[in-house]
Structure 1
């Protein structure tokens, strides 16, 4: 699959909710359903202020000219060995450019995560850059924060059944014990695979392993992709739980 089309599959779900990217989410879905790649789609992708700089970082650090190259897009959303080939200095310089102005004196806390092994995978953005991890400590906001973290991460699950635009998928949600984030027992959730018949996945069958983002099924996962997504997500959770003293930009939001 073309990298730009793969980007649509993962970027559309939060865009449809108004959380990130340009306002025209309907155009993004239409591009995904049609399988078309043109300058208009590239311009829409550039409008994702969160994801696009990571794609640029991965591409430039890998000697790849196009941030929407399939290898780059898959590395960011799912995870591939390409992430571990990036030089630490290259990652740190990108963090300096993009996040120091936002976090000010709290910027060194982000550097902690990079030095602990953080790489430009979507899970890094969710668990180190977003404020929600820090908000888990606030009893008034913990439940909402955990829900956002669980929906915003790229999660994986196995299709149990299909019903029109929806798929029932068995997956393991995030849980929080007051100190660490982990995965709880499997549960079945309902996720969209199309809207009024318009989608980008084609046919799914029970037993397929899939990736999910917010309320949508994003893609079928090969055995390799499933292993990579698990690997990079679990590694980032270990960094967030045990290898850093501060929980990233969350502190800037809580105490800044």
Structure 2
């Protein structure tokens, strides 16, 4: 029988919290610098780019409030799942209205569900969180974020076997440790898998630093908007295999009816992240 007390963890379902933040254009320009994008058009009143809201509403736990992995200690807003590894598994976003940089925005977050499964590598707990961004009292963005907790296991060495269409648009990028450091700093992400190589190998079982799942998703969303030539309406993404530092990433897109299919492929042909976008 699992040691996971699912009934206890589900006591967190319905828990909510609210935060407010100013969408600083300066912070957005630092993000552009991190990705090697032009900064001249990133000014107050300009549009918040897709998924760049992850640069804001950042928590600030003191050292005593952090777990050994660099994440905030278990409990609090998120349930105290006892499994050691936490991963950003995927999510779905619906963009209802544009939000300008320089605006004061409210974020409402609610625990939607907690589920326990037995995977091939052991026990898994999935926590779904709904986030809503409100600007001038109007809900501008609805996001459902999936977090997975798992035990320690060998990762990053097998392919997913995911079949993808022929890419009609591609771009290559090779993240380096500086990009990972800057993105961690911009999102105040203390997870040690992104900067502590010894911890990656010895504790969580990765062969090298892990490229942030949110960073991959942000690259895909930005590419989708570029290919579409207009703002996104919906975006759904799912992490399939960790992207490891040292690998060149290929960002791909192909039309599929009224949506775009997008994916991050690795040098061995496997897929790290898959997404669908509607513009």
- TM-score, normalising length from structure 2? 0.24
- TM-score, normalising length from structure 1? 0.25
The structure having more radius of gyration, on CA atoms, is 2
The structure that is strand-richer by fraction is: 2
